[in-house]
Amino acid sequence: MLLFLVPVQEEDWTEYRVEAGNHDFRPNDFPAPHFGADHYTADLTFTPSCWWSQEDTDYTGGRDIYDWNKIGGMTNFFNSNSTHSVMLGWRPAATANTIEVTAYINPKEGRFVTGPVLQIPVNRPLHAEIKWASDTVYYEYGNLSFSYAIPKPWSIRKIGPWFGGNQPAHREMFLKMQAQLD
């Protein structure tokens, strides 16, 4: 039997927007618990609004350009997004109109961990998956993979896109995405 996978059409994706001076991209998902969920998938495209450089006149964040923004992922339902969470991170690359993407983990113990960095041009679709097994999380994004030992909580919730680090977005930004938690 042949199985054909039909790619999701980008025009069906949700456009997420963060306003200047804010962290949270909108719209947000309702923070519902997902018992037994362990698989996060995202198909996304960064628009040109997501790339900037330190030389841009509207950017005054200095070295915060190296902070990881969040695409989304999973976390312990009872914790904040910055504790016991597995996500995908992004930031502008040094090359114009290129975005860096990485695996991003916030262990319970603190201090985040990242995986290998993928560089992707703006407007190019990216498929990414996070699979959280009982004691290890597995990432696949672009042609990269990464795993990290972290225990899976019994109740998970989905995390949406977030700008920063400690600094809010310096301008309005958009990304297009379809993300799912199973």
pLDDT on residue 9: 65
Residue 2 pLDDT: 39
Query: Quick check: pTM over 0.85?
Result: yes
On the CB side of 10, how many CA atoms lie within 13 Å of its CA? Answer: 11
3-class SS of residue 48:
helix
Query: Two tokens at 141?
Result: 């994004």
Residue 18 lies in a domain: no
Domain count, the chain: 1
Residue 148 sits in a domain of what CATH number?
2.60.120.200
* pLDDT, position 62: 87
pLDDT in tens, the chain (182 residues): 333 344 456 778 999 999 999 999 999 988 888 888 999 999 999 999 999 999 998 898 888 999 999 999 999 998 888 889 999 999 999 999 999 999 999 998 878 999 999 999 999 999 999 999 999 999 999 999 999 999 999 999 999 999 998 899 999 999 999 999 99
- Domain presence at residue 6: no
Own/partner pairs, 142-151, CB within 8 angstroms, 24+ separation: 142/101, 142/118, 143/118, 144/115, 144/116, 144/118, 146/103, 146/115, 146/116, 148/86, 148/103, 148/105, 148/113, 148/115, 150/84, 150/86, 150/105, 150/107
Does 165 fall in a domain? yes
Domain presence at residue 20: no
In a domain, 137, yes or no: yes
127 found inside a domain? yes
Per the structure, the complete domain to which residue 156 belongs is given by 34-181
Bridge-based pairing of strands 69-76 and 39-46 is unpaired
Identify whether 59 is part of a domain.
yes
Tell me, yes or no, whether 47 lies in a domain. yes
